[in-house]
A and B are shown apart, each in its own frame.
Chain A
Amino acid sequence: MTVIQGENLTKSYGKTLALDNLTFQIEENKLTGLIGRNGAGKTTLLKLIAGYLKPSRGEINVFSHNPFDSLQVSANIIFIDNHMAFPTAFSLDDILTEVAHYYQNWNAKLAHGLFDYFSFNPKQRHGSLSKGNQSTFNMIIGLAARCPLTIFDEPTSGMDSAVRKDFYRALLKDYLEYPRTIILSSHLLSEVEDILEDILLLRDGTKCLHQSVLELKEYALGLKGPKQTVLERLKGQEILHTEEFAQGSLYAVIKNQGLTSQQFLKHEDLELLPVSLEDLCIYLTGNAKGGIDHVFKQ
Chain B
Amino acid sequence: MILNSDSMKPIYIQISEWLETEILRANLKEGERIYSQYQLAEMFNINPATAAKGLNILVDETIAYKKRGLGLFVAPNAKQFILHKRRSQVLKQLINEIVLEAKHLDVKETELMDLIHQVFNEIEEDKE
Say yes or no for B45: interface residue by CB 8 A criterion. yes
Say yes or no for A250: interface residue by CB 8 A criterion. no
Main SS class of interface, B: helix
Given A194-B5, A195-B46, A196-B47; A172-B53 close (CB under 8 Å): no
Report A217-235 residues with CB < 8 Å from chain B CB: 217-218
Interface digits, A258-283 against B, CB 8 Å rule (1 contact, 0 not)? 00011001001000111000000000
Closest to A212 in B: B49
Q: How many residues of A contact B (CB 8 A)?
A: 23
Given A172-B42, A176-B38, A268-B100; A273-B47 close (CB under 8 Å): no
Given A268-B100, A268-B103; A194-B8 close (CB under 8 Å): no
Say yes or no for A168: interface residue by CB 8 A criterion. yes
Say yes or no for A197: interface residue by CB 8 A criterion. yes
Residues of A within 8 A of B11 (CB): 194, 217
Instruction: Give the number of residue pairs across the A-B interface with Cβ within 8 Å.
Output: 50
Q: In the bound complex, how far is the Cα of B52 from the Cα of A213, in angstroms?
A: 13
Say yes or no for B76: interface residue by CB 8 A criterion. no
Say yes or no for A73: interface residue by CB 8 A criterion. no
Say yes or no for B41: interface residue by CB 8 A criterion. yes
Say yes or no for A173: interface residue by CB 8 A criterion. yes
Residues of B within 8 A of A92 (CB): none
Quick one: which of A169, A196, A212, A274 contacts B8, CB cutoff 8 A? A274
| Least Cβ–Cβ distance between A130 and chain B, in angstroms | 27
Residues of A within 8 A of B3 (CB): 194
Say yes or no for B71: interface residue by CB 8 A criterion. no
Interface digits, B2-27 against A, CB 8 Å rule (1 contact, 0 not)? 01010110111000000000000000
Say yes or no for B50: interface residue by CB 8 A criterion. yes
Report B89-128 residues with CB < 8 Å from chain A CB: 96, 100, 103-104
Q: In the bound complex, how far is the Cα of B46 from the Cα of A213, in angstroms?
A: 11
The 19 sampled A-B contact pairs (Cβ below 8 Å) are A172-B41, A172-B42, A172-B45, A176-B38, A176-B41, A176-B42, A176-B48, A190-B5, A194-B5, A194-B46, A197-B48, A197-B49, A213-B49, A214-B10, A214-B12, A217-B10, A262-B96, A273-B8, A274-B7
